[in-house]
Structure 1
């Protein structure tokens, strides 16, 4: 943009430019201060999650309705049958179960999981 013409002998108007420049500097200072605050917040949240993870060794408690099996777990079929008996008549109830299997080979397991899977 060109500056509006001025009368001979008068100084050009530079106040709007100064105002724009100071506003831009103010916005830049605000942006820098916000960017500097973000790593601090991330560090604080990271420390909280590390404390929570450190408080529960072995990966944490997933809750009473989550069962994690590995190939060496004894009586997997008995536990699966027990959960099925609870769910067979309460498939729309409030209790839900998660059966999680770690990688491995599971022989002779018959899991009746026909509820909207």
Structure 2
């Protein structure tokens, strides 16, 4: 019985992965209508072929068994909430946690200028 309970507990912890997201914006930043997550473009550089204004920085962290894709997914979700069209300067890193490692994604949310 104890073994069965332990196995269920371990599986529950693995399925209920932890994630955290943060948005850091300037108080003087103009507010934009939310965007759809699927429309957010992600770039690893700030040199893209469109003009843009910076809205703010976005950060997400997920447990590493979910992988970098999950961390970027949460990053795009947060950027969409503040009306971003894209994320530039994407940076991924492995962070140490209490239970295990996590993947942290950081980037700068931007709004395209026509």
TM-score normalised per structure 2: 0.25
Q: Which structure has the larger Rg?
A: 1
Higher relative contact order (CA 8 A, sep 6+): 2
Which of the two has greater helix per residue? 1
Which of the two has greater strand per residue? 2
